[in-house]
Amino acid sequence: MSGSPHSPLASLMFFMVCLSVAGSIIAGVHYYAVDLQHQQDLQAPANTQMTCSQYCDAQYYPCMTSCKSSSISATQTCRINCQTEYKNCKKSC
């Protein structure tokens, strides 16, 4: 009999190991050639710097939308508190 000295399972395992090594090499080359270059070119968006007034607005609107209660008086008290905090924030600007 002239057969392969390796079993089919060993050949399959050898092929899978070679394939994974080749994939790792290609992924590493891609990371250094493409991904790493793009990370260095990124800049922060222009709108990341908020003014004081914008910060106050950004705090006010979520506060007002969170004022949902089953009782009207609790909702009104919450909204008054939001408005007071908003006015104090604006004064500090």
Residue 82 lies in a domain: yes
Residue 27 lies in a domain: no
Strands (E), 3-43: none
DSSP secondary structure code for residue 46 in this structure: G
Instruction: Provide the whole-model pTM.
Output: 0.45
Q: Say how many domains are in the chain.
A: 1
Residue 2 has pLDDT above 60, yes or no: no
Cβ(65)–Cβ(75) under 8 Å?
Answer: no
pLDDT in tens, 47-86: 567 788 888 888 888 888 888 877 888 888 988 999 999 9
Residue 7 lies in a domain: no
Residue 16 lies in a domain: no
* Alpha carbon distance 62, 49 (integer Å): 19
Residue 5 lies in a domain: no
Report residue 45: phi and psi, to 5°. -60, 155
Residue 74 lies in a domain: yes
Residue 71 lies in a domain: yes
Residue 63 lies in a domain: yes
Domain of 87, in residue numbers: 50-92
